[in-house]
Amino acid sequence: MSKTSYPGHGHPGPEWRVSHRASRTDWSDAVERCAACRARVDMSEAHYQVLLERDIDKPGKITLERERVVFCDESCAAEWESTA
């Protein structure tokens, strides 16, 4: 009895672990959405990224899957993690 779908971009799930977190400024004109507050995050301005990874267990091999989550700043990242 587990609810697997979240509205929007919720926390991906307990099997994910945080592999890296950092403040970043990318040389990119891409705009993404903060996973916590849904604000626009301009990649070319200072923002915060959390890299998640999980093992996908398949017969005979384990594959590592990675996902990047973008936030306005560290406080949004902390809020998102606390609601996981």
Residues of this chain that bind Zn ion (CB under 5 A): 34, 36-37, 39, 72, 76
The residues pairing with 3 across neighbouring beta strands, listed in sequence order, are none
Least Å distance, CB 47 to Zn ion, is 9
Instruction: Give the C-alpha distances (Å, rounded to integers) separating 84 from 16, 44, 65, 66, 80.
Output: 10, 27, 19, 17, 6
**Closer residue to Zn ion, CB minimum distance, 17 or 38:** 38
CB of 73 to Zn ion, least distance (A): 7
Task: State which residue, 45 or 55, has the beta carbon closest to Zn ion.
Answer: 45
| Helix H or strand E segment including 79 | helix 74-82
Identity of the residue, 39 or 56, whose beta carbon is nearer to Zn ion in the bound complex: 39
Shortest separation between residue 81's beta carbon and Zn ion, angstroms: 13
Sequence-ordered list of residues with C-beta below 8 angstroms from that of 75, at least 6 positions apart, any chain:
none
